[in-house]
Structure 1
Amino acid sequence: MASVDGRPAQYGICLKQLREVMELRGQEAVDQLRHYGGVQQMCKKLYTSPTE
């Protein structure tokens, strides 16, 4: 598997999925975040921190 800076070259969520989540508001957004495992898991899939 290809890697960049020691991380897999692909993220755990695709751009289309991320875009769909970002367009949601209210309870729909909360439900979709839960579907992806919550904020912590989504950040983990994107190799980022929820606080930075």
Structure 2
Amino acid sequence: MRGRNYAEALVRQAEYAPPPPIDAGTLETVSLVVSEMAQMMFAPAIAEFEALAE
């Protein structure tokens, strides 16, 4: 939606050097507790995005 430069900036922001000491970058590698916590944290933003998309 915002173009390649924006996407590259987000990827750059998310990079770690050296790599993080834990592997929790996907739903397959993160614990259920953390997954549920993230869902609760982002629920208001997701609801807003969904409302805007209508």
TM > 0.5: no
* Structure with the greater alpha carbon radius of gyration: 2
Question: In proportion to residue count, which structure has more strand?
Answer: 1
Higher relative contact order (CA 8 A, sep 6+): 1
**TM-score where L is the length of structure 2:** 0.29
Question: In proportion to residue count, which structure has more helix?
Answer: 2
